[in-house]
Chains A and B, each alone.
Chain A
Amino acid sequence: MSALESLFVLIAALCAVGGCANVLYDEAVDVSAISATSEAKYFDSAGEVSGTIYFDYDKYDLISSSITQIRQLANDFKTNSSMKIRVEGHCDERGTREYNLALGEKRAKAVAEVLILNGVPSNKITTVSYGEEKPVAYGSTEASWAKNRRAELRLL
């Protein structure tokens, strides 16, 4: 029996039972297996952390001890001016990821501003935000969260 004939037999069987109104035919289309995968090269993250500044929840302003800390780092940098500074902003896990990406950038920029005010040329500074994507502490406690709300400075 050809394919078309088989189909008609099926339909006839259905119709014989209770009339032919509105038989629907759904055909699953070929499910081509999705197997495409690819991988990124390893990104060589720059240098070691030379300083870490901490922030309050939902905030990106700097307390005075942080400003002092950054000033110190700016002075250290000036003796080594062939290098560049990368400031990375981070958040704790609370709140949405994209909003935290923006908050992390505010933190990194706040630190960069103080560096510039203390004589570091702006073209030597890069700011990057990782939002909540790179925590140093896991767990959902105040202590873990406080460790993650930070900006890290790396000399390149």
Chain B
Amino acid sequence: MNHRTMVFLFTFLIFSGAAFPDLKIEITEGSQDPIRIAIVPIGWNLDDPSRGYLHQMVSSDLASFGEFETLTPQEMLSLPRNEEEVFFRDWKLLDVDYLVVGTASQGEVPEEVSVSFSVIDVTREKTLRRSISSGSINYLNSLAHVMSDRIYEEINGIPGIYSTKIIYINKEGSSNGKYHLRLADIDGQNDLALFSSYEPLMSPDWSSDGKKLAYVSFEEGSSKIYIQELYTGNRKGLKSEGGINSSPNWSPDDRYLSAVLSKAGNPDIYIYDIKENSWKQLTDHFGIDTEPDWSPNGKKIIFTSNRSGSPQIYEMTVSNGKIRRKTFEGSYNARARYTPDGKSFVFVHRMDNLFHIAVQNLRTGKLRILTDTSLDESPTISPNGNVIIYATKNQGENILAGISYNGKTKFILPTDLGEVREPSWSPILKQSRSTRLF
């Protein structure tokens, strides 16, 4: 293959990967006070035409959820490639808060790129962190995500979520349209169907180790729970009982699933021991108990119950079975999900006949409505607790939308796949190995 063909193929590869993501974040309302960051085009010491795109990918990542405002190279007064070349006045003039400069070189093997870069606090004229990110030249977007995660963590002190993914349910638009369980990178790339069926799919849940999924499928004519391995596609249906088998939710150590079975006459919360292949009943009430979620420390399960007459949120201590009601405002509160710090939960709250996503603090009981969209459902929260994605209806279309935890940034994820719903955010995936040098 001659050089020109390689250049063409490589350019095609770069663009085809980035061309038409199915779910692409579109910010509808931005933060009033984003951090201004300049990612200077990375100096490129390799011999191929992909130079210049890394800074764009990193900028695009950082701007995704409205937390950052990025500069284009055209706006920059100078283009330093290392700390020595930084002239701080050029950046203070532009009101830049942080600066990233670096160079890329060949890594350990021919296919590997290593980027050494510095994250610099412009106001204090101080380097926050020197870092090296490396990855395959065939997956530059992964390398960009690793860099973005590092930059985010150095500035904010919590992990970045640029290497995370979501799974969600898609129903094709036609009347006998198929249902798909789909997976996508959080930036919308690499979207694919993991499982497809002519019958409904529901309630996908991501395991804590990021390697397995649990979901509900009606492929045998009624609701049954399945576990599917992400990388092999191997799936296994759980020993099914009569009635409802649904709402699977992984424990933090992935040894158990909490779920809902109605085999005893009405929907109750059960725990499934994966190794023992056995069920244990947790709630025993003639009403509807459903939508369990394990707390991050594994000690409690939050769930929905109508035992007081209408759906409300309850929390159970797993060890002793003690149950406490948590919501007291409004007549419909359901589908709670703990925040990663375990201190609050996001949930669906009906007010004035509109369904919104709200958050409530477990200790104070203070409730805050987050969304002004309605017919909202299925909130899922990022593993760093900063962003929530949920399903809603917008101009008759079932779409995914998102909001920052502080409520300041709103976005939608438009798609042309048909109906999309029930998103589940991955944990922080081990997409990178980090070591401290010196």
- Of chain B, the residue at the smallest CB distance from A32 is B231
Q: Is the CB of B246 within 8 A of A13?
A: no
B300 within 8 A of A: no
| Partner of B434 from A6, A25, A34, A93 at Cβ < 8 Å | A25
B288 within 8 A of A: yes
B288 contact set on A, CB distance < 8 A: 99, 102-103, 106
A32 contact set on B, CB distance < 8 A: 231
From known contacts A14-B116, A18-B83, infer whether A43 and B131 are also in contact, taking CB-CB under 8 Å: no
Q: Is the CB of A43 within 8 A of B218?
A: yes
Q: Nearest-CB distance from A95 to chain B (Å)? A: 7
Q: Is the CB of B430 within 8 A of A139?
A: no
B1 within 8 A of A: no
Interface string of B101-117 (1 = CB under 8 A from A): 00001111100001010
B114 contact set on A, CB distance < 8 A: 6-7, 10
Scoring B145, B196, B267 by chain A CB atoms within 10 A of each residue's CB, the highest score goes to: B267
B244 contact set on A, CB distance < 8 A: 101-102, 105, 129
Scoring A32, A38, A99, A129 by chain B CB atoms within 10 A of each residue's CB, the highest score goes to: A99
Q: How far is the CA of A97 from the CA of B431 in the complex (A)?
A: 32
| Partner of B230 from A34, A95, A131, A133 at Cβ < 8 Å | A34
A93 contact set on B, CB distance < 8 A: 375, 393
Q: Is the CB of B183 within 8 A of A20?
A: no
Contact-size category for A: 35 or more
Q: Is the CB of B375 within 8 A of A37?
A: no
| Partner of B432 from A17, A20, A26 at Cβ < 8 Å | A26
B132 within 8 A of A: yes
From known contacts A18-B83, A23-B130, A99-B291, infer whether A40 and B195 are also in contact, taking CB-CB under 8 Å: yes
B84 contact set on A, CB distance < 8 A: 17
A143 within 8 A of B: no
| Partner of B246 from A23, A24, A101 at Cβ < 8 Å | A101
- Of chain B, the residue at the smallest CB distance from A16 is B84
- By secondary structure, the A interface counts as mixed
Q: How far is the CA of A145 from the CA of B338 in the complex (A)?
A: 31
B246 contact set on A, CB distance < 8 A: 98, 101
From known contacts A13-B82, A17-B84, A18-B127, infer whether A26 and B434 are also in contact, taking CB-CB under 8 Å: yes
Q: Is the CB of A36 within 8 A of B231?
A: yes
Q: How far is the CA of A98 from the CA of B198 in the complex (A)?
A: 20
Q: Is the CB of A37 within 8 A of B437?
A: no
Q: Nearest-CB distance from B14 to chain A (Å)? A: 15
From known contacts A14-B116, A96-B348, A98-B247, infer whether A28 and B431 are also in contact, taking CB-CB under 8 Å: yes
Interface string of A42-76 (1 = CB under 8 A from B): 11011000000000001000000000000000000
Q: Nearest-CB distance from A119 to chain B (Å)? A: 22
B197 within 8 A of A: yes
Q: Nearest-CB distance from A68 to chain B (Å)? A: 27
Q: Is the CB of B131 within 8 A of A26?
A: yes
A21 contact set on B, CB distance < 8 A: 438
Q: Nearest-CB distance from A136 to chain B (Å)? A: 10
Q: Which B148-174 residues have a C-beta within 8 angstroms of A?
A: 149-150
Q: How far is the CA of A4 from the CA of B107 in the complex (A)?
A: 9
B203 within 8 A of A: yes
B295 within 8 A of A: no
Q: Is the CB of B150 within 8 A of A24?
A: yes
Q: Nearest-CB distance from B50 to chain A (Å)? A: 15
A31 contact set on B, CB distance < 8 A: 136, 139, 142, 431
Q: Nearest-CB distance from A51 to chain B (Å)? A: 19
Q: Nearest-CB distance from B403 to chain A (Å)? A: 18
Q: Is the CB of B233 within 8 A of A14?
A: no
Query: Which among B3-11, B57-65, B220-228 touches the partner chain?
Result: B220-228
7 A-B pairs besides A96-B304, A130-B218 with CB distance below 8 A are A7-B132, A13-B116, A24-B437, A26-B146, A39-B195, A102-B244, A134-B200
